[in-house]
Amino acid sequence: MITHISDLKAKFIRYFPDIDDKRETWKFIRNPFHCEVVLADVADEVQEELLELKFNSTTKEDFKNLDLETFWVKYLPVYVLISHQALWILTMFGSTYLCETAFSTLVAIKTKYRNLLNVERDLRCALSSIQPHIANLVAKKHC
């Protein structure tokens, strides 16, 4: 287990080499109300937004009641710069998950019996979150 965690940490550092440098800068994402506003790597406009957010009682209540992603999405129109930066960091890992899911689906679809087929349409159907309206599709077909 220790070896696995050590390897995982090494790979993480390889993919994100500046993660330790950014750790202090990104503290505001986890909790904007318990971080230092004056950070060297953060632009002045972002610092101003962070100060406004930090001392807004409505945002404090929403932060307690909402999950992290929903909170930042809700305040994207109000605090554009800081929310955009937070969402960019948070979606970094979600997009990696989607890529891995797509690759796993491709491996499942493309077997040795289907290796000559074009899997683009099959993959699109397998990865889509849109549910088909079977009743409408069947109603449009005539025997």
Q: Is the pLDDT of residue 103 over 80?
A: yes
| 26 within domain boundaries | yes
| 6 within domain boundaries | no
Between CA 32 and CA 39 the distance in angstroms is 13
| 4 within domain boundaries | no
Q: Is the pLDDT of residue 94 over 90?
A: no
| 13 within domain boundaries | no
Between CA 56 and CA 31 the distance in angstroms is 14
| 41 within domain boundaries | yes
| 112 within domain boundaries | yes
- Number of domains composing the chain: 1
pLDDT at 25: 66
Q: Which residues contact 76 (CB under 8 A, 6 or more apart)?
A: 83, 84, 87
| 66 within domain boundaries | yes
- Provide the whole-model pTM: 0.54
- Provide the residue range defining the domain that includes 39: 19-140
Q: Is the pLDDT of residue 77 over 90?
A: yes
Scanning the chain, the segments in alpha helix (DSSP H) are 2-15, 19-22, 27-30, 44-54, 57-65, 68-74, 80-109, 120-127, 134-140
Name the DSSP class of 119: -
Q: What is the mean pLDDT of the chain?
A: 80
Place of tokens 């940490």: 9
| 37 within domain boundaries | yes
- Tens digits of residue pLDDT in 3-24: 888 888 888 778 777 666 666 6
Lowest-confidence range among 13-17, 62-66, 84-88, 132-136? 13-17
